[in-house]
Structure 1
């Protein structure tokens, strides 16, 4: 007898689209805020526990490993429990990570509790899966047609969350001593708990409900196995290698941006910090531009072109004069094209996979960012340790990996956008 027809996907009213978009944006700010806060306060944490710089770097690396494990695990869970519960779980995990960090008693406990922050970082991937399913089922056809640009507005939560973390640390530093960093993490739990409660107002995505109601055999397959099947394998490998190599560039030019500017170009610490703050504002514009472009051209090509242009700008910055205006222009343009495509790649991921493994595929690709960050930092340490200048090391590790990531994205398949 013929297989039963797949359940129809219910259309999502505009009021639910607006509510979910706003909550998703706020949740993104809170999640990124917690993730960035740890890196910002690591020097103070190190001083409290009496760690050397190398030991602090080891702790940071181990936290990245633990974070990657959580990122790999969250996708299959969200494909089982649903997008709404996934959003609640990731933001709740953010609150738990902040509170537990305040109670850390040493290296072991800190690594364990900060690994939970993989939930806060994974919010970005779960958010992308959830919102893009809603946008594709929107009553308003304009939302579906321009969902890349709409999601890019949500993605501005990343630079805004980073700025919020830096601003909050600066503010509480006026009232707290450096060794009272635990209070900073405790205070950070308050917005996370409030947003987790707010996420309870989200509606489940109609695609997940339709898949759950369908009960067809393939939907009982293991989501992780599905992303490596023949029809999904190519994009899985392209996305994974793209995230891994590009996060080597992120580690070089964004996470360690002040180091590049100070050691590689001879800028003062104050000027370097101001340029990194400005870079977050540039990143927000980059998200919007690439989201708009991705609605008009194949998304994987928009991503690839953006990362190749970023490579060219960073090479110019490193080999060009140390003139402030020249470095400012090339660095900002480089970050515009390095960071901006992330709004597009998150949408592209949601289009690459079927509903039953969509969260798994997106989370797996996203999780590869952590090995990329570890490898990038390790290679920078190795090259500078054997006597290379930081500028030369950044050229090979950062710019080289950025170029590779851009070229890799052209191997991705053009997907049917209405398949979401």
Structure 2
């Protein structure tokens, strides 16, 4: 692995130096430039702390809804008369729809703002939760047409899944305003890992709600209850401030559109905004300096989600299968409880480590160790429960934990113009990975391959590859602060 400063080509820009926007221009109107600069909000530590709390809550309840559907799918299938094949097919269609929605949110956030993106994601997740109960009732009455409605409604949950990419973009830009020296900058990753730990917290809340609410109101009630926390979050989100980077880029684009080219580039020089790229954010994500992180990180993220599918989403199935680890169901649930605890600690550890050796190196190290842990799990003899729980917990610690570093690394890898779009493309690639891996595991098992060989081919190997692929991305000095 290279050192955190191995990519000298970007070190100056990432250290906060203004992009080279010098060009022979007429003298700029200082009043227009000053007025544009005045539009940028001032971000205080109090603003950042409020944003951290809101982003944690937004992500926690987005995960609650996201995980809830998988937890309750067997009960929905039993209630609505779906076969195992129908249930799997519906889940596959929902995964594809989620990926499309998560992919589309990035350009919207880059166009309309990070704050509005958070509001949209929270509202979308809440709406998806409430409408799931309604769509399920429709599916029970009209059959196939209702199933299509249900898939469309659950695809809206992609807005909730996209919350993590929007949070990473938003907080990365806020940190650039408040953590401007090396001492504070090196704590950003650990602080962000606390926000990202909303995944295991949301997962636990989802499991608890099923345990408490399902006996009272069947599978519909947990989805209805999921709507109510969003009301508080949406009201509290009114206090969030837009990031100065987005506002300044928007003002510079407005000056260009109004014909004030000299003023636009003077504003870019004074604020450190790169105005060279004028393509749409979606097109710009596949050009210039954004192309490399878009492709490399997306491929690595997609491969890692092969492992998430095998060992998180299908973890219980693999552990309990006679040709898997043949663990009793109650013991498998115990392993999952422990794994949620290790995932939480994994977020904190990898967030802390990324602040010291660089986030790219941290991600690579974590995923390689995860792949080796799960490979040892597959090869471990059945019946050795202590060894199985140790290897499974280790695998999840090193598989899930690096996502805290990766999502913050996304924000460090893109300029403001493509930051949300690049992050959304990478985020959506995870659902694409889950979709491909789901098809692969299903086909392998249907052809007679056992669970062990199936998760080795579609889980262990892709995780190892993801750790190697991420090394192709540019490394970023964790002490550097990107201002553009």
Per the alignment, residue 361 of structure 1 pairs with 422
Say yes or no: does 1:232 pair with 2:290.
yes
Task: Return closer, same or farther for 1:240/1:374 CA change in 2, 3 Å cut-off.
Answer: same
Distance in 2 between the 1:140 and 1:365 partners?
27
Per the alignment, residue 200 of structure 1 pairs with 238
Instruction: Tell me the alpha carbon deviations over residues 261-308 of structure 1, each in whole angstroms, 9 at most, x when there is no partner.
Output: 112111011111111121111111101111111111121111011100
Per the alignment, residue 252 of structure 2 pairs with 214
Per the alignment, residue 481 of structure 2 pairs with 418
2:95 maps to which of 61, 64, 68: 64
Q: How many residues align?
A: 417
Instruction: Tell me the alpha carbon deviations over residues 313-342 of structure 1, each in whole angstroms, 9 at most, x when there is no partner.
Output: 111111012311111111111110000000
Greater shift in the superposed pair: 4-13 or 281-290: 4-13
2:305 maps to which of 247, 256, 268: 247
In the TM superposition, residue 414 of structure 1 has moved relative to its aligned partner by 1.5
1:271 maps to which of 327, 331, 335: 331
Distance in 2 between the 1:362 and 1:343 partners?
13
Matched-pair contact (CA < 8 Å) for 1:135–1:143: no
2:164 maps to which of 98, 105, 124: 124
1:381 maps to which of 442, 452, 460: 442
1:390 maps to which of 446, 451, 460: 451
Per the alignment, residue 145 of structure 1 pairs with 186
Distance in 2 between the 1:245 and 1:219 partners?
30
Distance in 1 between the 2:67 and 2:199 partners?
10
Instruction: Tell me the alpha carbon deviations over residues 59-96 of structure 1, each in whole angstroms, 9 at most, x when there is no partner.
Output: 01111111111111100000011000100010000111
The alignment partner of 1:203 has SS state of: coil
Matched-pair contact (CA < 8 Å) for 1:33–1:165: yes
Greater shift in the superposed pair: 44-53 or 238-247: 44-53
CA RMSD in angstroms comes to 1.7
Instruction: Tell me the alpha carbon deviations over residues 337-384 of structure 1, each in whole angstroms, 9 at most, x when there is no partner.
Output: 000000000011001111011000000000001110011111111111
In the TM superposition, residue 220 of structure 1 has moved relative to its aligned partner by 4.4
In the TM superposition, residue 183 of structure 1 has moved relative to its aligned partner by 2.2
The alignment partner of 2:418 has SS state of: helix
Say yes or no: does 1:27 pair with 2:87.
no
The alignment partner of 1:418 has SS state of: coil
Distance in 2 between the 1:74 and 1:92 partners?
13
Distance in 2 between the 1:139 and 1:160 partners?
27
The alignment partner of 1:62 has SS state of: helix
> Mapping of 1:34-45 within 5 angstroms?
34-45=65-76
In the TM superposition, residue 7 of structure 1 has moved relative to its aligned partner by 4.9
TM-score, length-scaled by structure 1: 0.95
Instruction: Tell me the alpha carbon deviations over residues 142-167 of structure 1, each in whole angstroms, 9 at most, x when there is no partner.
Output: 54331111100111101100110000
Say yes or no: does 1:175 pair with 2:220.
no
Say yes or no: does 1:404 pair with 2:444.
no
In the TM superposition, residue 254 of structure 1 has moved relative to its aligned partner by 1.1
Distance in 2 between the 1:139 and 1:225 partners?
31
Distance in 2 between the 1:293 and 1:101 partners?
39
- Structure 1 regions of 5+ residues with no counterpart? none
Structure number with bigger Rg = 2
In the TM superposition, residue 41 of structure 1 has moved relative to its aligned partner by 1.1
Per the alignment, residue 261 of structure 1 pairs with 319
The alignment partner of 2:227 has SS state of: helix
